[in-house]
Structure 1
């Protein structure tokens, strides 16, 4: 005897299996990026100390956003920027590689003094939302009561994939030690 399921239950089961498959595939890809992605460190910019610690997360702002903001003329958009990595893998803005979603560049040059010809170039993704530059994560969540541990954060360490997508791996102190 063969069991026949109604069409609605079959569709529901197929949908659940598909969603679980997609979610698990996304998790697998992010785990692979964290394990094998290229290390890029972004210097953290000073943030208003009154809003730096709010409960169990830290608001992150990146120093590289200011020179990029000076080059863009949009409130909303996204694209790729090329950054140079120094010997400590700290990124500095080199150029805007690709603009999309209406991003326009201002007519202005880049000051590239002090950048070594041996520095490595990497593309990373950015977004502009409400006239602010955003990279992978603009917040770092941690266990309640651990705020003091992260007050000395100077860098965000990311893993970047071949398309320039960033995943925040950890926060680092001024000597590049994980917090």
Structure 2
């Protein structure tokens, strides 16, 4: 392969990577701006990492339930209360759900007797550990297909925790 051809191929591959990353960022920004708010109960732990700074490991209440997915990934249907706190109702698809319900994508655990919700950590500014130790809910933005993005943490009153 000639040097000019190799250089052109390298530039084309680099451009493809940049376009893919840009598209992904745009997609997450759109989800953050227009997704429905859903809160999931959580159980935080380990609020410190020497390499990353302050963070909180997250475990969600829905992960403690016995939910059996047939595939490695699937969708559950959450029932939402008046504060938009989601609780598992049933397995489901992304299209058929009643008012007050929301589809939410999950993965099957390795043992197959439960589900896992990503992400399992939340990074925050150094020195804010005491503030975030009050967290009781993860705040997600969720689209119609159940794709979700963790955008914050909330206290016991379902109010978003805002750093000082």
**TM-score category, normalised to shorter length:** 0.7 to 0.9
C-alpha separation in 2, matches of 1:60 and 1:6: 50
The answer to whether structure 1 residue 71 and structure 2 residue 67 are counterparts is: yes
Match of 2:84 among 85, 89, 96: 89
Q: Which has the larger radius of gyration?
A: 1
- The answer to whether the Cα contact below 8 Å between 1:86 and 1:119 also exists between their aligned partners in 2 is no
Tell me, in whole angstroms, the C-alpha distance in 1 between the residues paired with 2:83 and 2:69: 31
Structure 1 regions of 5+ residues with no counterpart? Answer: 99-117
Q: What TM-score do you get using the length of structure 1 for normalisation?
A: 0.76
1:33 is the counterpart of 2:31: yes
Give the alignment's Cα RMSD to 1 decimal.
2.1
Change (3 A) 1:90 1:119: farther
When structure 1 is superposed on structure 2, of 163-172 and 119-128 the one drifting more is 119-128
Q: Aligned match of 2:123 in 141, 148, 157?
A: 141
- Give me the TM-score of the superposition, normalised by structure 2: 0.82
For structure 2, the 5+ residue unaligned runs are none
Number of residue equivalences: 149
